[in-house]
Amino acid sequence: MAVNLHIPSETDIHPVAGVDIGVTSAGINQPDRPDLTVLSLSRHSQVAGVFTRNRFCAAPVQVCQIHLAAGSDVRALVVNTGNANAGTGESGLHAAQQTCSELARLLNVRPQQVLPFSTGVILEPLPIDRLTAALPQAVNELGPDNWLQAAHGIMTTDTQPKITSQQIMLGDEPVAITGISKGAGMIRPNMATMLGFLATDAGLSPDLLQDTVRLLANRSFNRITVDGDTSTNDAFMLVATGQSNVQIQSVADPRYAPLFEALLEASRDLAQKIVRDAEGATKFITIQVTEAATADEALEVAYTIAHSPLVKTAFYASDPNLGRILCAVGYADIPDLDVAQTRLWLDDVLVAAKGERHADYREEDGQRVMQQQEITVTVALGRGDQSETVYTSDLSHDYVTINADYRT
Amino acid sequence: MAVNLHIPSETDIHPVAGVDIGVTSAGINQPDRPDLTVLSLSRHSQVAGVFTRNRFCAAPVQVCQIHLAAGSDVRALVVNTGNANAGTGESGLHAAQQTCSELARLLNVRPQQVLPFSTGVILEPLPIDRLTAALPQAVNELGPDNWLQAAHGIMTTDTQPKITSQQIMLGDEPVAITGISKGAGMIRPNMATMLGFLATDAGLSPDLLQDTVRLLANRSFNRITVDGDTSTNDAFMLVATGQSNVQIQSVADPRYAPLFEALLEASRDLAQKIVRDAEGATKFITIQVTEAATADEALEVAYTIAHSPLVKTAFYASDPNLGRILCAVGYADIPDLDVAQTRLWLDDVLVAAKGERHADYREEDGQRVMQQQEITVTVALGRGDQSETVYTSDLSHDYVTINADYRT
C-alpha cells in the first residue's frame, strides 16, 4: 500500500544513548497487539515539543503542556494507541494524570517528569485500568534497541512502521539521530503531526531545543496534509539526551548547522513517511508554489491544491485533468491574483501559462508524469520571490473504505 | 442515486410569460445528447446575476459581466454543457463572444444583449464551430414549455434534472416562478452555484433585482458545498420578465416580501437539489451552527464540518463517529473557542456537551439517526445569537469513481 516507504533494517537503526524503550500489549482497543510504549530518558535530557492547535486538544496534550511548563527534567514519555483520550472532559484529564503517576512510581521519578501521549478513537473513555496494569511489563522491556518495536507500538491505521535513523560526525564525535512517527488519516498538522518522536544524544540548551523543534516542525510535519483534518492529538517531540560528547549552547556553535540539517532530514523523512502511508495513498505528491509575494500566500495556494478532492481523485486516476489544479489556484484566497502571470508544471512539463494551456503542452506528456508514483506539481505565481513546499497524497477508493469502516 | 430529489411532472411546471426555451444537440463533447440551450427573453426583461469569485473565472463569465455592465436589455441566455471554456485565454474569450454574436444575429438583437454560459471540462478549447452550427436548430425549438428539456440540456455529471416551479398569487394577480440548476461536483459556490437560472414574470426594477439575487444566493446557492471546490463557471441568474401584471419598484411594496419568500423557496430548492444529486451522494446533510458570535464564525464552523473528509465518510458509513465532528469544530479557525461551552446534536439527540460525550447519550440513538437519508447536525457554540445553515452530502466510493473516471 504505502508509496516508496523505506523501513531501515535493524542493523541500520542507531540506538540513542540515554533513551531506553519498552513496548507491550495493554489491550486498549484490541487484544494482543503492541499498543503501549514507554520511552525512558536519562537524567538531564532536554525535551521540547509542538502540539496541535485544535481547540478540542486531547487530555494528554493538555497534561504534556502543564508538565513541560513545570520545568522539571522530563524522564519518560508514555504512548498508547487505540484510544485518543480526546473529547473526554475531566475524567480524561484524570486518566492522563493517572498514567503519569503510575509510570512515575515504577520509574521512581515525579509524575510531572512524565509526558503522556494517546492516539486512536476520539470521544471514548480511555480504559485506564488496562493501561496501568500493563505499565510494569512495558518497564520490564526497557532497552536501547527497541525503536522498531516502538514504531509498531504507536501505529493506528498506519500500514507500515515509520522510523528514521542516522549517525553523523560532528568534528570527531559521533552523534545518533533516531526517531519514529505515526499517522495516516486526520492529517493536517497545525503544529506537528499526530505523533512524532525524534531523539539525539547531542546536548542542546533548553531554549535552543525549543527553537529547533519549532523550525523543524515548520519545515517537515507542518508541511504535510492528507485530508485537511487537524487532529486533536498532534504532537512532535524532540529529545536531546546529551549523552554524547557534543554539547551545543547556541546557534553560533559551528556544529549547530550540520546537526540542524541532519535533524531536518530526519524530521522530513518521518513526516513524509506519514504521507507515503496515508490512508489509501497510491501517489506521493510534492506541491511547490514559487514566485509568491509572501510565504503565507504560497502556503495558501499549496494547501488549496492539496485539499481539493477533485485534484486528489485526478492523481488517483493518473488523469492529467490539470484544469482542476488551475481551478484550485483560482479559488485560493488571494483576491488580487492575476492568472495571466501564473504558470503550472507537472515535474518538468510546462502545462499552462498566461491563464491557458501552453501551446507546446501535449496530453501524452502530462499522462506520462501522472502515471508516476511520485509527482511534483509546481505553480509559479509571478508575484514575488517566496516559495513553500507541501507534501500530500491522492484520494482513492481505499481512503473511503478505511474511513467508512474505521470503528467497525 | 440522488437523495429524495423531486422532479415535478410536466403539468406542474409553470411556463414564465416572456421566456421561450430551445434545446438541441451540438455534439460539444458527446454526440446525440442535448447540450445547447437558448433562453430567449421578451423585451424589457430585467436580468441580474452573481458569479464565481474564482480568479480563473471562465471566458463566458467574463463576457457575461461585460455585457451586463453595458446596461443593454438582456434578450437571451445561451448555455452549453460538455466544455467549460475555462483556462482558455484569449481564444476562449473570442469563442464566447462569437457565440453571442451568432445568436444575436439569429434573434435580431445586439451581441451585448446575449449572455453566454458554459459548463464541463476545463482547459480544453470550446468547439465553437459545432456550437454555432447548432444554434439555428436551438432557435427553431424556442417555446414556452421547454423548461424540463432545458434542465436536461445543462447537465454534466448530474444524474437528475433539477427544476423548480410554482405559481403564487400576489393580490389577485398570478405570478409564475420557474427555474433550473445543474451541478454535482466542484461545488462550493462562492457567489452562486455552477449554473442556476430562475425566472419570474413579475417585474422588478433593476436595482431591486440585483439586491434580490444577492440575498437569494446568500441564503441558497452560497450555502451548499459538495467538495469545497469553487468552480470557474459558477453563475446564478434571476430573470424578471415583467409580463405579468405585477410590477414592483421597491422593497416597500407589500408584494415584495411574499415574492421574495417564494423566490427564496425556489432558490433553496434548486440549490438543495444540487446537493441531493451530488456526485456519489447517499445522504443529504444539513449543518446548523447556532449561538455563534458572528455569522462569519458560524459559517466557518459549518463549512469546516462540511468539508472534513472524515466526517463525510462517517456519514457515508452511517457510523456515529461523532468525535470527528467535534474534531472539525476544534480546528475551525476560531482561536478563542471554548470547547466546554459547545453542544452537539444529531437531529434531536444530544451527543456532546462541555467538551465530552453527554452522559445520557447512547450509541444506538446516534446509530438510528445516522442511518437516515436526511440528517441535521446542530452545533451550539455558546458565544452569541448568530446562526447559519449549510447543506452538504457524504463522501462515498462513487464520488471517487465518478471523479477518477470523469474524462475517460
The CA distance from B182 to B53, in Å, is: 18
Helix (H, G, I), strand (E, B), or coil: what is residue B194? coil
pLDDT of B21 reads: 97
- Interface check for B333 against chain A (CB to CB < 8 A): the answer is no
Task: State the virtual CA torsion across A374, A380, A385, A387 in degrees, nearest 10.
Answer: -30
Q: Which of B122, B334, B397 sits opposite A400 (nearest CB)?
A: B397
pLDDT band at B324 (very low <50, low <70, confident <90, very high): confident
Q: Which of A321, A330, A404 sits opposite B56 (nearest CB)?
A: A330
The CA distance from B216 to A248, in Å, is: 63
pLDDT of A1 reads: 61
- Interface check for A43 against chain B (CB to CB < 8 A): the answer is no
Tell me the catalytic residues of A: 193
pLDDT of A190 reads: 47
Helix (H, G, I), strand (E, B), or coil: what is residue B246? coil
Contact B395 A314 (CB under 8 A): no
- Interface check for B51 against chain A (CB to CB < 8 A): the answer is no
Question: Cβ contacts (< 8 Å) between A403 and chain B: which residues?
Answer: 309-310, 313-314, 317
Mean pLDDT confidence for B84-90: 88
Our CA-based measurement puts residue B233 at a distance from the nearest CA of chain A, in whole angstroms, of: 10
C-alpha cell of residue A66: 502543564
What DSSP assignment string belongs to A2-55? -SS-----GGG----TTEEEEEE---SSSTTS--EEEEEE-TT-EEEEEE---T
Return all residues near B218 (Cβ < 8 A) that are at least 6 apart: none
Mean pLDDT confidence for B123-144: 96
pLDDT band at B331 (very low <50, low <70, confident <90, very high): confident
A161, β-bridge pairs? none
- Which of B29, B54, B55, B282 has the most A C-beta neighbours within 10 Å, making it the best mutation to test the interface with A? B55
- Which of A29, A52, A53, A56 has the most B C-beta neighbours within 10 Å, making it the best mutation to test the interface with B? A56
Strands (E), A45-85: 46-51, 76-83
**The whole model's pTM is what?**
0.81
Encode chain A (408 residues) as per-residue pLDDT tens digits: 688 888 999 999 999 999 999 999 999 998 989 999 999 999 989 999 888 877 788 899 999 999 999 887 899 999 999 998 988 889 999 999 999 999 999 999 999 999 999 988 888 899 999 999 999 999 999 999 999 999 999 998 788 898 999 999 998 999 999 988 888 766 665 433 468 888 898 989 989 999 998 888 888 887 777 777 776 777 788 989 989 999 999 999 999 999 999 999 988 888 888 888 888 889 999 999 999 999 999 999 999 999 998 899 999 999 888 888 988 898 888 989 988 899 999 999 999 998 888 999 999 999 999 999 999 999 999 999 999 999 999 999 888 888 886 554
Question: What is the predicted ipTM?
Answer: 0.76
DSSP, res B74: P
Structure confidence by residue, pLDDT tens digits, B156-190: 878 889 899 999 999 899 999 998 888 776 665 54
Residue-wise over B113-125: b if at least 16 C-beta within 10 A, else e? bbbbbbbbbbbbe
* Domains of chain B: residue spans and CATH: 10-276 (3.60.70.12), 284-404 (3.10.20.340)
- Which of B327, B337, B357, B362 has the most A C-beta neighbours within 10 Å, making it the best mutation to test the interface with A? B327
The CA distance from B361 to B349, in Å, is: 8
Indicate the residue type of B155. Answer: M
pLDDT of A111 reads: 97
Residue with cell 416562478: B177
Residues A353, A343 contacting (CB under 8 angstroms): yes
pLDDT of A208 reads: 92
Helix (H, G, I), strand (E, B), or coil: what is residue B85? coil
Contact B356 A229 (CB under 8 A): no
- Interface check for B381 against chain A (CB to CB < 8 A): the answer is no
Closest CA to A19 of A172, A192, A198: A198
Closest CA to A56 of B224, B156, B395, B353: B353
What DSSP assignment string belongs to A106-172? HHTS-GGGEEEEEEEESSS---HHHHHHHHHHHHHT-BTT-HHHHHHHT-SS-SS-EEEEEEEEETT
- Interface check for A407 against chain B (CB to CB < 8 A): the answer is yes
Residues A282, A373 contacting (CB under 8 angstroms): yes
Our CA-based measurement puts residue A247 at a distance from the nearest CA of chain B, in whole angstroms, of: 38
Return all residues near B92 (Cβ < 8 A) that are at least 6 apart: A356, B58, B59, B85, B86, B125, B126
Centre a 10 Å sphere on the Cβ of residue A293 and count the other Cβ atoms it contains. Answer: 16
Residues A291, A382 contacting (CB under 8 angstroms): yes
Question: In chain B, which residue's Cα lies nearest the Cα of A123?
Answer: B323
Residues A331, A304 contacting (CB under 8 angstroms): yes
Contact B355 A89 (CB under 8 A): yes
- Interface check for B331 against chain A (CB to CB < 8 A): the answer is yes
pLDDT band at B290 (very low <50, low <70, confident <90, very high): very high
Q: Which of B122, B330, B408 sits opposite A327 (nearest CB)?
A: B122
- Which of A57, A193, A232, A327 has the most B C-beta neighbours within 10 Å, making it the best mutation to test the interface with B? A327
- 3-state secondary structure string across B102-125: HHHHHHCCCHHHEEEEEEEECCCC
Question: In chain B, which residue's Cα lies nearest the Cα of A306?
Answer: B229
Strands (E), A234-385: 235-240, 247-248, 284-292, 343-346, 349-353, 356-357, 374-380
C-alpha cell of residue B128: 465553437
Centre a 10 Å sphere on the Cβ of residue B75 and count the other Cβ atoms it contains. Answer: 23
Contact B53 A331 (CB under 8 A): yes
pLDDT of A186 reads: 67
The CA distance from B100 to A189, in Å, is: 49
Residues A277, A357 contacting (CB under 8 angstroms): no
The CA distance from B342 to A65, in Å, is: 23
Q: Out of A80-94, B96-110, B295-309, give the one with best mean pLDDT.
A: B96-110
Structure confidence by residue, pLDDT tens digits, B223-266: 777 777 776 777 788 989 989 999 999 999 999 999 999 999 98
Contact A407 B321 (CB under 8 A): yes
Return all residues near A46 (Cβ < 8 A) that are at least 6 apart: A203, A204, A205, A206, A209, A239, A240, A242
pLDDT of A191 reads: 39
Judged by CB atoms within 8 Å, which residues 169-228 of B form the interface with A?
185-186, 188, 190, 227-228
Q: Is a pLDDT exceeding 50 seen at residue B408?
A: no
- Interface check for B309 against chain A (CB to CB < 8 A): the answer is yes
Q: Which of A55, A123, A307 sits opposite B357 (nearest CB)?
A: A123
Q: Which stretch of A232-236, B299-303, B390-394 has the lowest confidence by average pLDDT?
A: A232-236
Structure confidence by residue, pLDDT tens digits, B183-213: 776 665 543 346 888 889 899 998 999 999 8
Residue with cell 442535448: B34
Residues A368, A400 contacting (CB under 8 angstroms): no
Whole-number average pLDDT of chain B: 89
Separation in Å, CA B274 to CA A277, B137, B187, B221: 34, 29, 9, 9
